[in-house]
Amino acid sequence: MELQSPDRSDIPDGVLIARLRRGEMAALAELYERYQTPIFRTALAITRDQGAAEDILQECFIRLLTHADRIRTDTSVGPWLYRVAINLSCDWLHHRQRWPNLVSKLVGRWTPSLRVEWTVEEREIQEKVREAIRSLPLPQQVVIVLYYLEGLSLKEIADILEVPEGTVKSRLHYGRAALRERLAEWQPRRGVVYELT
């Protein structure tokens, strides 16, 4: 797996996992520094809930500690962390569908965008795109998050999800097709024309 840790430290993940097995908490801190942002971002983009994403991030690293003996040391730990975060995020969504929490829904809706230089119209279009993504089946949403937000390759996504590369390609293809259709339906009503082909 070619997925590199975002940090430029020379210490390979495998060495840190070995240290973690010996109970060195500094190794856990180092791995947290490396992966906290992409794991949090992924969980946030799937759950769209700041509190849930933070809980999932915490649980990922607790599992990293408790499962350190079973984690491979010859590859990056990134795919393993992504996998756990995605599974926990999907579980959280399923649970929330059964027990909708109005407060967290409102909080999630009002999580502010960190970039403020977009125009009102651009923000409206972006919100529409995010709404359209949210309406996709969960496996397609996950692939879209990893591909467009995390910038991972099809092979990296396939390794994380433990599915064939063709499956990732297919989910991306059908996800994009559905988005194109939904956004095309919306455009004439708004009077905004975007060439999406």
Q: How far is the CB of 98 from other proteins (least distance, A)?
A: 25
Binding piece for other proteins, criterion CB under 8 A, among 7-15, 22-30, 87-95, 160-168: 22-30
Can residue 146 be called a binding residue for other proteins (CB under 8 A)?
no
Task: With beta carbons less than 8 A apart as the criterion, state whether 16 and 81 touch.
Answer: no
Task: With beta carbons less than 8 A apart as the criterion, state whether 76 and 4 touch.
Answer: yes
| Widest Cα–Cα separation across the chain | 62
Can residue 142 be called a binding residue for other proteins (CB under 8 A)?
no
d(CA 75, CA 110): 38
179: left (phi > 0), else alpha (psi -120 to 50), else beta? Answer: alpha
How many residues interact with other proteins (rule CB under 8 A)?
43
First to last CA, the chain: 33
Can residue 32 be called a binding residue for other proteins (CB under 8 A)?
yes
- Per CB under 8 A, residues contacting other proteins are 23, 25, 28-29, 32, 36-37, 40-41, 44-45, 53-54, 57-58, 61-62, 65-66, 113-115, 118, 122-123, 125-127, 129-130, 133, 144-145, 148-149, 176, 179-180, 183, 194-197
